[in-house]
Amino acid sequence: MEGILVCSNENCRSEFPVIDGIPIILANLRSYISQNILPLLSRNDLSSTMEGLLGDCAGPGSAFDSMRQHLSTYCFAHYGDLDVGGLSCKRPGAGTIVDLFQKSMLPLKEELGSCIVDIGCSVGRTTFELARRSGRLILGVDLNFSMLKLAKEVARQGEISYPLRREGVVYERRNYPVNFENLNSVDFWMCDAAALPFGREVFSSAVSFNVLDCMWSPSEHLRELSRILQPQGKAIISTPFDWSVNVTPVESWLGGHSQRAPHEGCGASFLRALLNSEKSPVELRQLQILIEEDVPWNLRLHDRSLMQYNSHLMILRKSLPESS
């Protein structure tokens, strides 16, 4: 639950903390911790009344409010379909990540392999679903500590507890049991999807649901996917191409600009061309497109607000190395 990982290289000896059972393995560790000390030290033993008072005092737009909004939105999208007591399962947006997951799994007839990484796992539902489906080792990675902590608690306690936003800074604490199989094969780490701390060709499969447009460098994320995949390994990626300059510089967007270019600013066309171009890095050219389709994905913001997306889904396969 708590410890320090130390690099065994005598010329390095870098230290990485394990907090609440989550290894934090980042190259820019000092910068990350200094900017994210609130979620690292956050507590979950306060009553909903006390949380409400703190939320009123912190106010909208505060770091505390932002953290609760993210947990509300993504927990509902991951686990809302299991909230039978609160009837949340009947509301639009409840558990829609599972719909996306199931659509991505339908075309895959073969096994996903023996070791799978879920990149951008958020609060963990897709990681648990991968474990249930495959019975293999599954590692969920993300950069949001609050979400990883919640996923870890679900695995350990068999229960989810999160603040569901009603409106403004008004929240309702939702608690209910959730049961998943093969939890002993699941773990969660904090890692940067564009700089994964793994060697080459470690994983038999990788998934990356709605992560590409949340990266400082989407192309680096794709290169990392290719690097860590074994030959013939599958990668499942999806993205709504919902770009924001607060996360991704415009120059790094895959589409969404330069409508005068051959792809006319279309993200799906841009991504397709990037993977097929002879000018692209070899890691990208190794990712062969097997299937493409658009899949609905909805995110609940509060009782009166729902964001509706069409997420572009791609199933890729890493090609065998070229013979010399």
Domain with 293 in it: what CATH number?
3.40.50.150
Query: 64 pLDDT band (50/70/90 cuts)?
Result: very high
The answer to whether residue 227 is domain-embedded is yes
Predicted confidence (pLDDT) per residue in 180-209, tens digit: 999 999 999 999 999 999 999 999 999 999
Predicted confidence (pLDDT) per residue in 212-268, tens digit: 999 999 999 999 999 999 999 999 999 999 999 999 999 999 999 989 988 899 999
Chain mean pLDDT for the chain: 93
The answer to whether residue 61 is domain-embedded is no
The answer to whether residue 246 is domain-embedded is yes
The answer to whether residue 70 is domain-embedded is no
Residue 195 per-residue DSSP state: B
Spatial distance between the Cα atoms of 135 and 282, rounded to a whole number of angstroms: 32
The answer to whether residue 291 is domain-embedded is yes
Q: Which of 262, 214, 150, 301 is nearest to 140 (CA)?
A: 150
pTM beyond 0.85 = yes
3-state secondary structure of 256: coil
Spatial distance between the Cα atoms of 49 and 71, rounded to a whole number of angstroms: 18
Domain count along the chain: 1
Residue with tokens 């924001």: 244
pLDDT at residue 274 tops 50: yes
For the chain, state the CA radius of gyration: 20
Query: 111 pLDDT band (50/70/90 cuts)?
Result: confident
The answer to whether residue 229 is domain-embedded is yes
| Domain that includes residue 245, residue range | 13-39+95-159+180-318
pLDDT at 177: 95
Neighbours of 19 (CB within 10 A): 17
**259 vs 25, 244, 255, 263, CA distance in Å?**
39, 17, 8, 7
pLDDT at 324: 43
The answer to whether residue 230 is domain-embedded is yes
pLDDT at 50: 94
The answer to whether residue 102 is domain-embedded is yes
Spatial distance between the Cα atoms of 201 and 211, rounded to a whole number of angstroms: 21
